[in-house]
Each structure stands twice: as structure tokens, then as C-alpha cells.
Amino acid sequence: MEKRIYNFSPGPAMLPLPALEEAQRDLLALPGTGMSILEISHRSKKFEEIISTAESNLRTLLKIPADYSVLFLQGGAQLQFAMIPMNFLRNSGKAADYVQAGTWGKTAAAQAKTQGAINIAWDGKDGNYNRMPKTGELKLTTGAAYLHITSNETIQGIQIQSEPQANAPLVCDASSDFLCRPVDVSKYGIYYACAQKNAGPAGVTVVIIRNDLVERSPDDLPNMLSYKVMAKEKSLYNTPPTFCIYMLKLVTDWLLNTIGGLDRMAEINRQKAHMLYEALDQSAGFYQGHAEKESRSLMNVAFRLAKPELDEPFLKQAREQGLAELKGHRSVGGCRASIYNAMPIEGVRLLRDFMNDFAKRNG
Ligand SMILES: *Cc1c(COP(=O)(O)O)cnc(C)c1O
């Protein structure tokens, strides 16, 4: 078999090895069925068991209150950028508040604008999107339809440390820090994440939504865009992405049974992130982090080399050591190490040692 390397991609990203191994072992025939997960009906008893375990794993990990629905939808996080305003902004007579702390928040706001009035509650442009807003900085609309935030800006590598206070329902794109630490779901009206960063392969998006909002979903929407229809049909209105939901079940099995839950996962994630931020801080300016310290992301470490002409040798030599996909997003430049849940601590240690060594050789 080809040797696995450390993949620091922002997404799709590494999956836990035990989840991949179980999928590989059972690919030709799921135990008790004689059929592949790729072949079974989404209405079969076996799939019913898989999707309900995926849901109950998420409910256990995130302590999701009983008055919330857990939906498995398609169209990625970006369909939610449209579906949320279609359900709760269009024809509401209200405006929705959006925080633009980085690229994804800006994209979400631009999509909402196609459906109704929005207000930019905060924009991080002045600081080149290097931090999350502080308490009290948001300019909120009274009677807003909702407040939309992005808990982790994947490209800029900044993450919220606590939820903002708002009277309107809080809606959060948690695509790139889903399941990385415990979160109080009861503070949110909608908490959603595409799977391909931290929860599974590309193709499924988890939407955790309070039931009173589900009920407010208007009746004149096409069924595929209605939270009410999707919740009523328990995500089986049409054929769901069965393989992705199966993988999400295996990843959440791993989080629960091998890692031991989100408190432990958060500890490991803090340890991993600390190693890299320490390497930046101790490099005497050789490496420069993008994020302000109090907004540093546990999941995406964005940094530049003070001498940009060293970018290419840095990336090339890293790749030779099995440290892949470290190039930063074109809009920020430099480098970015995405260290989601499934990135082993050994991979981060190897990267840290490589960074220290590279700085010593080139400083
Ligand atoms: C990756 C990402 C998205 C885009 O997700 P798609 O599934 O490709 O639509 C949106 N928001 C955040 C925060 C992301 O990290």
C-alpha cells in the first residue's frame, strides 16, 4: 500500500485512520447485509441504524438539547448560505445581521443579500481580517431576523472564543471547527457545518436547528429547500448521501470511543495548536502569524515567511518530509497548516521540528 503522509489541507482533510480502516474492511459487504454501503437502500433497516447512530453520536458529543433537530443535508455549507435567508429572511420584513470576520462570513452575507435586507454588524477589513470582534463591537439591528457568525474563519485562521450576545436567533457556520471542542448548542438557533473539514468526507452538511425555527420555515418553498420538510422526513425526503453519513458515523464513533469525547479532543487540539504557535512566536520574526493572539484558531494556523522568496523551498522541503498541502489560500498568501481533529499529534510535531530546522538553516 502507498504510504500515508500528513495532509495539512484545509478540506477535504485527513480522516481518522480507524474510520478509514473500518470502511475499507467493510466496503464489499457490511456486516449482516452481504451488500456494500455503496449499494444499500437508504430506506433499509441497516441504513436506518447507521443514520440514527450518526445522529445519536452527535447528540451525545455535543449534548444537543431535545428540542433541536439534527439534519443531514446536501449542497455543502454554501447551500446553507442560501437556505437560511430563504427560510428566515425572505418576506420576513426584517433585516438579518452578519459578521464579516473573514472570507466565509463575507460569502455568507453576499448570498443572504440575494434574499433580503442585511446589515453588516462588524467587518474585519481594517485589520486585514486578523481577529474576531470583541464583546460590544457588534452593531446589531433591533428586531433582526437572526445574527449570522462564522465560528472559525478557515482561510484567515481566526476563531471565536465565546458567543456574541444577541436577542435574535444566533446562526453559526461552524464548518471548520465543528466537534473540535465542546460547545453550548442551546445558545444557537442554527449551528451548521459541512463535513469535509472535521466530520467526514465532502457531500453531507450537518444542520442542528431549534424546532421552533423549523416550524417557522415557510410553506411556499420548494421541498428540497425547506427545513420543515427535511426535518419531518428525518433527512430522508430524497436519497441522502448514504456513504458520507456512514463515514460521519464512523468518525463520531472514533471521537466517542477512541478519543473519549470533546473535552479530551479539545485538550489534544490545544496541545497541537500550541506547538505551532510557539514555533511562530519563538522564530524571531522568521515566521509571522496572521491572527492576533486572542483570535488564534485551533484548527487553521495561517502564517507567512518574512522572506517570501523562501515560500517555495519551504513548501517543497516540507513535502519531501511527508508534510503536504501547506500552501496558504491565494487571498492571504504564505502558508497554512490545517490541523483538524484527525491530524495526529505526531504530524504536528514533525511539522514543528521541520519549521524550527528550516528557520535555523535559512535565518
Ligand atoms: C469550507 C467552508 C465552507 C464551504 O463549504 P462547502 O461545503 O464547500 O460549501 C463554508 N464555511 C466555512 C467556514 C468553511 O470552512
Mean pLDDT across the stretch 225-241? 98
- pTM listed for this prediction: 0.98
Per-residue pLDDT, 187? 98
Atom of ligand 1 nearest to the CA of 79: 9
Contacts of residue 130, Cβ cutoff 8 Å, sequence gap at least 6: 124, 156, 158, 290, 291, 292, 295
* 301 pLDDT more than 80: yes
* 1 pLDDT more than 80: no
Catalytically annotated residues: 104, 173, 197
Give tens-digit pLDDT for 29-41.
Answer: 999 999 999 999 9
Mean pLDDT across the stretch 316-345? 96
Q: In the chain, what percentage of residues exceed pLDDT 70?
A: 100
- The distance of Cα 151 from the centroid of its chain, to the nearest Å, equals 9
What is each CA distance from 316 to 115, 320, 354, 361, 362, in whole angstroms?
Answer: 45, 6, 12, 15, 14
Q: Atom 13 of ligand 1 has which residue's CA nearest to it?
A: 175
Strands (E) in 74-131, as ranges, are 95-100, 117-123
- Residue 106 CB–ligand 1 contact under 6 Å: no
* 314 pLDDT more than 80: yes
Per-residue pLDDT, 280? 98
Mean pLDDT across the stretch 181-210? 98
* 210 pLDDT more than 80: yes
Give tens-digit pLDDT for 112-162.
Answer: 999 999 999 999 999 999 999 998 999 999 999 999 999 999 999 999 999
Per-residue pLDDT, 40? 97
What is each CA distance from 180 to 40, 46, 76, 204, 342, in whole angstroms?
Answer: 31, 29, 19, 18, 10
Per-residue pLDDT, 332? 87
Per-residue pLDDT, 135? 87
Whether residue 162 contacts residue 205, with contact meaning beta carbons closer than 8 Å, is answered with: no
* 105 pLDDT more than 90: yes
Mean pLDDT over each residue of the chain, to the nearest integer: 97
Atom of ligand 1 nearest to the CA of 202: 7
Mean pLDDT across the stretch 355-361? 98
CB atoms within 10 A of CB 169: 20
DSSP letter (8 states) at residue 354: H
Give tens-digit pLDDT for 251-269.
Answer: 999 999 999 999 999 999 9
Per-residue pLDDT, 137? 97
Q: Residue 298 burial (CB < 10 Å; 0-12/13-18/19+)?
A: buried
Per-residue pLDDT, 338? 98
3-state class (DSSP) for residue 64: coil
Q: Atom 7 of ligand 1 has which residue's CA nearest to it?
A: 76
* 4 pLDDT more than 80: yes
The model's confidence at residue 233, banded by pLDDT at 50, 70 and 90, is very high
Per-residue pLDDT, 146? 98
Rg (CA), the chain: 21
* 358 pLDDT more than 80: yes
Q: Which residue(s) pair with 119 in the sheet? A: 97
Which of 331 and 349 is assigned the larger pLDDT?
Answer: 349
Mean pLDDT across the stretch 291-299? 98
Mean pLDDT across the stretch 200-206? 98
Cell of 71: 439534519
The model's confidence at residue 65, banded by pLDDT at 50, 70 and 90, is very high
Per-residue pLDDT, 264? 98
Per-residue pLDDT, 134? 95
Atom of ligand 1 nearest to the CA of 150: 13
Three-state SS letters, 284-339: CCCEEECCCHHHECCCEEEEEECCHHHHHHHHHHHHHCCEECCECCCCCCCEEEEC
- Residue 197 CB–ligand 1 contact under 6 Å: yes
- Residue 150 CB–ligand 1 contact under 6 Å: yes
* 80 pLDDT more than 80: yes
